[in-house]
A and B are shown apart, each in its own frame.
Chain A
Amino acid sequence: MFGYWDALYFIYAFIIGLLISYLLMKWAEKASVGTRKEGDGSKIYISGEDQDKVIPQFEHLQGYFTGRHVMWGFIRGINKMFLTFRREHTGLLTDYVSYLLITVAIVLGVMVIWG
């Protein structure tokens, strides 16, 4: 039997975990000095981004770190592979049909050899 799981037991274990960590958090809240949500120090860590400073005519920009950068390191790290794959995507229908034919030939070859 490959791959099995019991969702009810999973949820049960997760609830136990949630309970333990919630109680730990509550105990820590009681034991700590407190929580600070505003005032000094509640600005984000110094990073070139200042929430109080609004640049005229750029009010609509909320930070310059956008979702576009998220996979940068990934694409850059295996750049050569990406370029190779991109070169294969020529946009010509005959090319795609030939890929399909080659794949089918390989699959058939494997099936013939292994019976």
Chain B
Amino acid sequence: MNVLCTTVGLIAIYLYVSFVSLVWDGLDRRLVARMQRRVGPPLLQPFYDFLKLVSKESIIPRDSNKMFEASPILALAASITLLAYTPIGFGPILATKGDVLVFIYLLALIAFIRVIGAVSSGSPYAQIGAQREVIMLASREAPMMLGLFAILWRLAKLDVERPFSLETLYQHNIWEIGTPLTIVGSLVLLIVFVFWLASEIEVGYFNIPEAETEVAEGPMAEYSGRHLALFKLSNSLKEYASASLVVAMFFPWGLSQYLGISGIEAMLVDLVFHTIKVFMILFVSMSLFRAITGRLRVTQAVNLFWSRILSASIIGAILLVIDILGVIG
């Protein structure tokens, strides 16, 4: 029964998230177009793109190996698995079977599968893109993990059973502690996470691996047709999942407890409300960021992460530690 529930839930969430995340992609393109005084494509353009790509001929380069064809399937599979560990307005489906480390692992796994697909294509452009992808991954993980673990460790002091479970974020949140130091520390970490999210979905400053005008879509240079379609879908799912983490950490409040409903209805209301919050955080971290910033050089991005964002993360973590130790106030 439990396994059946998990299966049905996972498939339902996959269908819902793939629909919603593609709608967001369309909305994002329209919003950015409006910011640049263009009209922009129709809202459902990502769906048309997906269907068009599926119907086209897939060209496999002569020099590529088996992993080139397998990696789109693996990337989408990893994205769907990620959804089972993603908080979506309520605890993840497999909340008791895996914690936040599995979530981070799967996010990194998707990037690695993209890299494997890129190096298997035999194109220099794809290899440069793959190189940049790995470098960005190595740079963005450190501040993000420090911030995440600092917050979860702070929440663990509130007597929770499983501090690293993503379900904990819905039982306690960082703002309810209410001391000035935690609030300032959390605000600093929120900024860190906005930057991390932008680099995770590779927009604006961090559009380095897929720099279209520079390395011709980087890792995706040789992909076409249905292989590219699967990668695009997997990217959209990853976008939603990583934004969900930020929402669950900083804005976990649900509507159902205020409306006084429970059961399936409450889950649906929370899911929709969560989606709206995800759209809002993606609006800041993706649309606005994409519209107002240009691409950095890879060295500048690495420098930004290791010297500024990591220091911000350390400052946020230290503020939380000082709050626990009770040195001030």
Convert A21-50 into 0s and 1s, putting 1 for each residue whose CB lies closer than 8 angstroms to a CB of B: 110110011011111111001111101110
Interface string of B106-144 (1 = CB under 8 A from A): 000000000000000111110110011011001100000
> Do A37 and B60 form a contact, CB below 8 Å, given A9-B98, A21-B80, A25-B226?
yes
Please encode chain B, from 188 to 228, with 1 for each CB lying within 8 Å of some chain A CB and 0 for all others.
00000000000000000000000000001000011001100
Q: Does chain A have a CB within 8 A of B230?
A: yes
Number of residue pairs A-B, CB distance < 8 angstroms: 177
Given A37-B60, A77-B302, A65–B124 Cβ distance below 8 Å? yes
Is A20 on the interface with B (CB-CB < 8 A)?
yes
Taken together as a complex, chains A and B put the C-alpha atoms of A92 and B101 apart, in Å, by 40
> Is A1 part of the binding interface, using a Cβ–Cβ cutoff of 8 Å?
yes
Interface residues of A in 53-101 (CB under 8 A from B): 63-65, 69-74, 76-78, 81
B97 near A6 (CB under 8 angstroms)?
yes
**Neighbouring B residues of A63 by C-beta, 8 Å:** 122, 124
For the complex, give the distance between the alpha carbons of A37 and B64 in Å. 10
Residues 1-19 of chain B, each 1 if its beta carbon lies under 8 Å from chain A, else 0: 0010011001100100000
Counting CB contacts under 8 A, is B179 at the interface?
Answer: no
How many residues of chain B are within 8 Å of chain A by beta carbon? 66
Determine whether B170 belongs to the interface, using a CB cutoff of 8 Å to chain A. Answer: no
Q: With the chains together, A65 CA to B81 CA distance in Å?
A: 34
B57 — which chain A residues lie within 8 A by C-beta? 32-36
Of the A-B pairs whose beta carbons lie under 8 Å apart in the complex, a sample of 26, sorted by A's number, is A3-B99, A5-B97, A5-B102, A6-B98, A16-B7, A17-B76, A18-B74, A20-B77, A21-B230, A28-B225, A28-B230, A32-B55, A32-B225, A33-B55, A33-B56, A33-B57, A34-B58, A35-B60, A36-B58, A38-B62, A44-B122, A49-B123, A71-B131, A73-B131, A76-B299, A77-B139
Residues of B within 8 A of A (CB): 3, 6-7, 10-11, 14, 54-63, 72-74, 76-81, 84, 94, 97-99, 101-102, 121-125, 127-128, 131-132, 134-135, 138-139, 156, 161-164, 216, 221-222, 225-226, 229-230, 297-303, 306-307
